[in-house]
């Protein structure tokens, strides 16, 4: 198939960016979207032009490295549970024009072309997205019983790959879906109870500081490659409220 | 070079306790005076960095990704083994030890493997305490499943994302230490050299992948947890950026490289569909429980599947291995698939594929049972190929998946460079010539959580006050040599892209150093690799500069190292005149099966770098089997 692609090119964080149009001819419908970009890049470099930079690694939809806005949609397809690397060219038609941009969010500055800095998400994890247990101090695993339904629900939340699509698609650039997935994963499990209140307060504080606010557009859920439910946001809000009113020293919780 | 394995004396089951009891210790108040560099943050690196931070050491952790959670461990699907014996099916530490030794075709160290089996139970405890959502029974206890070639159920799993969940456990432990300030995290930094001062590892040189800045970092010890090297084949199941540069730089600075020819080819991957193909996708081995593998009996039979009558199909695994059938081990199943394709009976557009057919299972169990067992895998197959495996058989073909070989390490995980430790897939230690399913996660975490944090103290205790500043000549020289290499790559200004060379190298390796190897083929490959490498440095085209994000430049350095490693793999494969596990030499077989030669090759081959253009030197660590009797693996 023959396509026309308009790609956001930007040399560095400070540099001015803009769309550049390339033709992507003789592309196999069986190629993945990233393989289409590989082909375009090989041709560009043969002509002496620098390749389009984009982040990617496992190409199996699990590492969370890849991600771009494709025709305005994070990862390029709504409701299919696909990361960019899993999107195949057969989803497009011969002659299509495709607009490709980096994640668009204030919290994700562009590093080069389609690569952005998603470091803010790690900061949210650092604020409390863990269970404090040192190596070696764990009790026998089966001493702790976890109902199957609870474990399944925790796993639904834990499936997040931290790609940032939720933030990129959100008109507010909010990171509620990401944060709530981790708050819920740990907060649902019995192991996560001792730190549950402190965790949600700390993580939300960092999230609010770095990202936009949630006004329940629901765009995040629609593009999440792991189909993480927006219900977790409700759950996080409930936890946050409960923690706020029951934690006396909440103003002093450091972030 | 002398290889001191440092295996503690005494009975097998007491060796690890004995080692821990005799290690020198670092006083808790002194730990913060030691700097430790950890490179890589997969299961091994992240668990090591977090555990070292908890102990009070000053840790600096380097990854080339934007976050430590991207490491390729995240893609592991199946599970992690542990000798918990929760199923009361006769499992024990000893049995896990024995299965792993046998699975490795008797080419691993007994003492290391026994320790691994012992620690497997602690890993599960640790992971559960961290909140890893392993599958559960209705009563709330942990669930187990069985896995390839083993007769007990000892595999713990979290849906098809066990690697992801275990890595997140380690990642979160690491992030906690970063927040506490015990670990300083360097993302988007790639290690390009190891700095050795007076024979001891004292630091590394990195390139900042955003600014391009080449910097030196000094420490009292360096830990490499940088993964495996099967991307030398270009097409593999590894993530695109997985590379051998860190362990290769260590090799060139004096760390012996062990058994480079032991690579694992996984039988069930989706075949290549075109020249644009950038990687191969693994389909879980569990599919072979219900799928039947076949090809047409006739060559170049292009009839649609439904028109090929039963009598004209060759279920070659069932025919050749009646007792194991479609569940033959990975190395055997892969070779059998290659054979039928070589005979011209392969299926699919490229002729490099075999059918994995669920028609019988669907007839027997009903579509819904198959959907429940394998639904997500069938969906994944459909997303990639646009074919519906409920209607038409899957097409699969073997692909490079894991490297058993790696940096030689002693029992304490230290390489032949004092102070340089290597953990996880990057070392050679525990899997011998073939790795069993669900054992890679176990090894990475055993090394990172439980072995290295303890064993490293034994070295550090003697290094008090011996840190070397990062502005001394050893460091500035290493920086200069990295800069020189980078500018050579940028200034070649040739006509071919890095990927075009990498593809060509991969094809050579796959054809001559892949599933079946011969003396003649390996010699030919060596010549071809040397010629191509020479052309590479002359004719590679790397655009842009070194002072900005430059993905071509990153790849160019990695591929340059793959060229050298590829040659060493051929040298090792050529010298090992036997077949063992993943290393199959066509000359050494008995009725089509691998034939080991224990009289001549019961050793670890540890190759020592002797300089540019000079042949590497072979050092042998004899393998002593005190507990297990050597036997021939048979699956007929």
Q: What is the pLDDT along chain A (255 residues), one digit of tens a residue?
A: 999 999 999 999 999 999 999 999 999 999 999 999 999 999 999 999 999 999 999 999 999 999 999 999 999 998 889 999 999 999 999 999 999 999 999 999 999 999 999 999 999 999 999 999 999 999 999 999 999 999 999 999 999 999 999 999 999 999 999 999 999 999 999 999 999 999 999 999 999 999 999 999 999 999 999 999 999 999 999 999 999 999 865 455 555
Do B481 and B487 contact (CB within 8 A), yes or no?
Answer: no
Q: What is the pLDDT at residue A255?
A: 52
How many angstroms away from the CA of A29 is the closest CA of chain B?
10
**B75 belongs to a structural domain:** no
Residue B323 has pLDDT above 90, yes or no: no
Conformation bin of residue A198: beta by default, left when phi > 0, alpha when psi is -120 to 50: alpha
**Does B301 reside within a domain?**
yes
Q: Chain B residues with CB inside 8 Å of A141's CB?
A: 84, 124-125, 127-129, 142
Which residues in A lie closer than 8 A to residue B133 (C-beta atoms)?
151, 154-155, 158, 185, 189
């939809």: which residue's tokens? A61
- Looking at B365, B400, B435, the residue that finishes a domain is B400
Residue of B42, B49, B66 to mutate, testing the A interface (most A Cβ within 10 Å of its Cβ): B66
Whether B258 maps to a domain, the answer reads no
Strands B603-608 and B593-594: unpaired
Q: Is B454 on the interface with A (CB under 8 A)?
A: no
- Residue that has been written with the tokens 């420490």 in this structure: B219
Q: For B47-89, how does the pLDDT look when each residue is reduced to its tens digit (9 = 90+)?
A: 999 999 999 999 999 999 999 999 999 999 888 999 999 999 9
Reduced 3-state DSSP string for A14-46: CCCCEEEEEEECCCCCCCEHHHHHHHHHHHHHH
Q: Does B135 sit within 8 Å of A151, measured CB to CB?
A: yes
B88 part of contact set with chain A, CB < 8 Å: no
pLDDT tier at B332, thresholds 50, 70, 90: confident
Which fold is adopted by the domain A118-252? Fumarate Reductase Iron-sulfur Protein; Chain B, domain 2 (1.10.1060)
Examine the domain organization and report whether B392 and B494 are in the same domain.
no
| Residue in A with minimal Cα distance to B381 | A86
DSSP state of A167: H
Residues B223-278 pLDDT 10s: 999 999 999 999 999 999 999 999 999 999 999 999 999 999 999 999 998 889 99
Residues A74, A67: contact at Cβ < 8 Å? yes
Which residues from chain A sit within 8 angstroms of residue B277, using beta carbons? 35
Q: Give the pLDDT score at A254.
A: 53
The highest-level CATH class for domain A3-112 is: alpha beta
**Which pair of structure tokens corresponds to residue B486?**
């980078």
Domain count, chain B: 2
Neighbours of B495 (CB within 10 A): 11
Placement of tokens 């080692």 in the chain: B19
pLDDT attached to residue B429: 86
Is the CB of residue B283 less than 8 Å from the CB of residue B394? yes
Q: Are residues B280 and B376 in the same domain?
A: yes
Q: Which CATH number covers residue B389?
A: 3.90.700.10
A190: nearest CA partner in chain B? B131
**Residue B299, both tokens:** 């060559």
Q: In this predicted structure, what is the pLDDT of residue B374?
A: 84
For residues B121-137, give the mean pLDDT.
97
Q: What pLDDT score was predicted for residue B174?
A: 98
Contacts of A71 (CB under 8 A, 6+ apart): A98, A99
Q: Return the structure tokens found at B239.
A: 């993530």
Choosing among B41, B52, B278, B388, which should be mutated to test the A contact, i.e. which has the most A CBs within 10 A?
B278
pLDDT in tens, B8-40: 999 999 999 999 999 999 999 999 999 999 999
Domain ranges of chain A: 3-112, 118-252
Q: What is the mean pLDDT of residues B278-302?
A: 91
A118-252 shares the fold of A3-112: no
> Is residue B276 domain-shared with residue B396, that is, in the same domain?
yes
Q: Is B214 on the interface with A (CB under 8 A)?
A: no
Of B346, B374, B400, the residue at which a domain comes to its end is B400
Closest CB to B138 among A35, A139, A148: A148
Asked if B75's CB is within 8 angstroms of A53's CB, the reply is: no
B84 touching A (Cβ < 8 Å):
yes
- For residue A124, the chain B residue with the least C-alpha distance is B175
Q: Assess contact for B203 and B195: CB atoms under 8 A.
A: yes
Strands (E), B82-159: 155-156
Mutate to test the interface with B, among A34, A51, A56, A58 (most CBs of B within 10 A): A58
**Residue B180 in this model has a pLDDT that exceeds 70:** yes
Distances (CA, A) of A184 to A71, A142, A156, A189, B627: 32, 22, 9, 8, 48
Cα dist. A188→A69, A71, A147, B156, B167 in Å?
Answer: 32, 37, 11, 20, 19
- Give the mean model confidence (pLDDT) for residues B90-101: 96
Which residue, among A60, A115, A131, A135, would best test binding to B if mutated, counting the most B CBs under 10 Å from its CB? A135
Sign of CA dihedral B287, B402, B232, A163: positive
Predicted pLDDT of residue B148: 67
Q: Are the C-beta atoms of B81 and B438 separated by less than 8 Å?
A: yes
Percent of chain B scored above 70 by pLDDT? Answer: 100
Contact present, B563 and B231 (Cβ < 8 Å): no
Predicted pLDDT of residue B373: 76
Q: Please tell me if residue A28 touches chain B, with a CB cutoff of 8 Å.
A: yes
Q: How far apart (Å, rounded) are the C-alpha atoms in residues B354 and B472? A: 58
- For residue B274, report the phi and psi dihedrals to the nearest 5 degrees: -175, 175
Residue A18 to residue A6: CA distance in whole angstroms: 9
Q: What percent of chain B has a predicted confidence (pLDDT) above 90?
A: 88
A139, A141, A195, A203: which to substitute to probe chain B, counting the most B Cβ within 10 Å?
Answer: A141
CB distance B164 to A62 below 8 Å: yes
Q: Which residues of chain B from 551 to 590 reach within 8 Å of chain A, CB to CB?
A: 551-552
pLDDT surpasses 60 at B580: yes
Q: Is the torsion defined by CA of B261, B267, B269, B270 positive or negative?
A: positive
Please name the residue of chain A whose CA is at the shortest distance from the CA of residue B276: A35
Count of CB atoms situated within 10 Å of the CB of B147 = 22
Tens of pLDDT, residues B463-493: 998 999 999 999 999 999 999 999 999 999 9
**What's the CA gap between B337 and A156, in Å, rounded?**
37
Per residue in B185-228, pLDDT tens? 999 999 999 999 999 999 999 999 999 999 999 999 999 999 99
Cross-chain residue pair B273–A28, CB shorter than 8 Å: yes
CA B337 – CA B414 distance, rounded (Å): 39
Residue B251 lies in a domain: no
pLDDT at A249: 59
Distance, CA of B243 to chain centre: 11
The pLDDT of residue B636 is 76
Q: What's the rounded mean pLDDT across residues B429-452? A: 95
Question: What's the average model confidence in pLDDT over B427-452?
Answer: 95
Q: Which residues of B touch A127 (CB under 8 A)?
A: 179
Asked whether the predicted pLDDT for residue B576 surpasses 90, the reply is: yes
Using DSSP bridges, classify how beta strands B394-403 and B221-224 pair: parallel, antiparallel or unpaired. unpaired
Residue B261 lies in a domain: no
Q: Taking the CA atoms of B380, B385, B388 and B393 in sequence, report the sign of the dihedral they define.
A: negative
- Where in the sequence is the domain holding B296, given as residue range(s)? 266-400
B382: contact with A, CB 8 A cutoff: no
CA distance A56 to chain B (A): 8
**Other CB atoms closer than 10 Å to residue B182's CB: what's the count?**
20
pLDDT digits (tens, 9 = 90+) for B388-401: 999 999 999 999 99
Convert the pLDDT of each residue in B524-563 to its tens digit: 999 999 999 999 999 999 999 999 999 999 999 999 999 9
B493 and B370 in one domain? no
CA distance B581 to chain A (A): 27
């Amino acid at each position: 198939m023959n396509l026309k692609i308009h790609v956001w090119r930007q040399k560095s964080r400070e540099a001015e960016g803009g769309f550049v149009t390339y033709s992507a001819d003789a592309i196999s419908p069986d190629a993945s979207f990233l393989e289409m970009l590989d082909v375009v890049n090989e041709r560009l470099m043969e002509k002496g032009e620098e390749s389009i930079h984009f982040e990617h690694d496992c190409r199996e939809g699990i590492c969370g490295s890849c991600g771009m806005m494709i025709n305005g949609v994070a990862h390029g397809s709504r409701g299919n549970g696909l990361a960019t690397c899993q999107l195949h060219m057969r989803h497009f038609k011969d002659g299509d024009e495709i607009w490709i941009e980096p994640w668009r969010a204030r919290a994700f500055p562009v590093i080069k072309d389609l690569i952005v800095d998603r470091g803010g998400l790690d900061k949210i994890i650092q604020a409390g997205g863990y269970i404090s247990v040192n190596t070696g101090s764990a009790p026998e695993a089966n001493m702790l019983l976890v109902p199957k339904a609870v474990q399944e629900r925790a796993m639904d939340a834990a499936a997040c790959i931290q790609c940032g699509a939720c933030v990129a698609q959100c008109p507010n650039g909010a990171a509620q879906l990401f944060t709530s997935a981790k708050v819920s994963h740990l907060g649902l499990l019995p192991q996560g109870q001792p730190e549950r209140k402190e965790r949600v307060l700390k993580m939300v504080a960092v999230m609010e500081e770095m990202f936009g606010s949630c006004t329940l557009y629901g765009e995040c859920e629609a593009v999440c490659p792991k189909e993480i439910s927006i219900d977790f946001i409700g759950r996080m809000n409930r936890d946050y409220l409960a923690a706020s009113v029951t934690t006396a020293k909440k103003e002093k919780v450091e972030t | 070079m002398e290889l001191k394995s440092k295996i503690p004396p005494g009975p097998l089951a007491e060796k690890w306790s004995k080692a821990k009891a005799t290690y020198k210790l670092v006083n808790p108040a002194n730990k913060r005076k030691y700097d430790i560099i950890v490179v890589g943050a997969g299961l091994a690196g992240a668990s090591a960095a977090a555990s070292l931070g908890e102990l009070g050491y000053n840790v600096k952790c380097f990854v080339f990704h934007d976050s430590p959670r991207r490491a390729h461990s995240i893609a592991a699907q199946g599970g992690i083994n542990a000798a918990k014996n929760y199923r009361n099916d006769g499992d024990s530490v000893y049995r896990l030890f024995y299965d792993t030794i046998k699975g490795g075709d008797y080419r691993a160290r007994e003492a290391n493997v026994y320790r691994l089996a012992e620690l497997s139970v602690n890993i599960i405890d640790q992971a559960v305490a961290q909140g890893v959502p392993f599958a559960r029974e209705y009563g709330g206890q942990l669930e187990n499943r069985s896995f390839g070639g083993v007769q007990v159920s000892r595999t713990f799993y979290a849906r098809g994302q066990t690697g992801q969940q275990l890595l997140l456990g380690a990642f979160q432990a690491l992030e906690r230490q970063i927040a506490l300030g015990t670990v300083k995290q360097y993302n988007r930094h790639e290690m390009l050299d190891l700095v050795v001062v007076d024979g001891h590892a004292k630091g590394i040189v990195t390139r900042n992948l955003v600014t391009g800045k080449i910097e030196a970092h000094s420490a009292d010890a360096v830990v490499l947890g940088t993964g495996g090297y099967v991307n030398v084949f270009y097409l593999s199941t590894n993530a695109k950026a997985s590379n051998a540069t860190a362990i290769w730089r260590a090799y060139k600075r004096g760390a012996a490289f062990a058994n480079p020819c032991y690579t694992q080819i996984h039988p069930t991957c989706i075949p290549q569909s075109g020249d644009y193909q950038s990687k191969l996708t693994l389909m879980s081995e569990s599919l072979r429980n219900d799928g039947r593998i076949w090809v047409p009996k006739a060559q170049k039979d292009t009839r649609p599947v439904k028109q090929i009558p039963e009598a004209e199909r060759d279920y070659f695994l069932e025919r050749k291995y009646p007792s194991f059938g479609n569940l033959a081990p990975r190395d055997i199943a892969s070779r059998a698939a290659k054979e039928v394709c070589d005979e011209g009976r392969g299926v699919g557009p490229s002729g490099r594929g075999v059918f994995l057919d669920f028609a019988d299972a669907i007839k027997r169990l009903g579509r819904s049972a198959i959907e429940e067992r394998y639904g997500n895998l069938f969906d994944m197959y459909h997303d990639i190929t646009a074919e519906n495996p409920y209607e038409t058989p899957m097409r699969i073909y073997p692909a490079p998946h894991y490297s058993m070989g790696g940096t030689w390490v002693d029992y304490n995980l230290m390489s032949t460079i004092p102070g340089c430790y290597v953990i996880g897939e990057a070392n050679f230690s525990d899997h011998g010539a073939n790795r069993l399913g669900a054992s890679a996660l176990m090894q990475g975490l055993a090394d990172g959580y439980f072995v290295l944090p303890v064993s490293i103290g034994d070295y550090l205790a003697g290094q008090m006050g011996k840190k070397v500043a990062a502005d001394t000549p050893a460091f500035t020289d290493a920086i200069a040599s990295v800069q020189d290499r980078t500018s050579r790559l940028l200034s070649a200004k040739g006509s071919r892209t890095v990927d075009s060379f990498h593809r060509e190298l991969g094809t050579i390796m796959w054809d001559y150093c892949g599933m079946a190897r011969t003396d003649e083929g390996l010699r030919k490959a060596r010549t071809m690799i040397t010629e191509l490498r020479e052309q590479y440095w002359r004719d590679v085209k790397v655009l842009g500069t070194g002072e900005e994000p430059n993905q071509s430049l990153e790849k160019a350095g990695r591929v340059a190292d793959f060229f050298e490693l590829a040659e060493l793999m051929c040298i090792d494969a050529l010298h090992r005149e036997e077949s063992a596990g993943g290393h199959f030499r066509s000359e050494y077989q008995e009725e089509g099966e691998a034939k080991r030669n224990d009289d001549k090759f019961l050793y670890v081959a540890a190759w020592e770098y002797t300089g540019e253009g000079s042949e590497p030197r072979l050092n042998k660590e004899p393998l002593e089997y005190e507990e297990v009797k050597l036997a021939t693996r048979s699956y007929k």
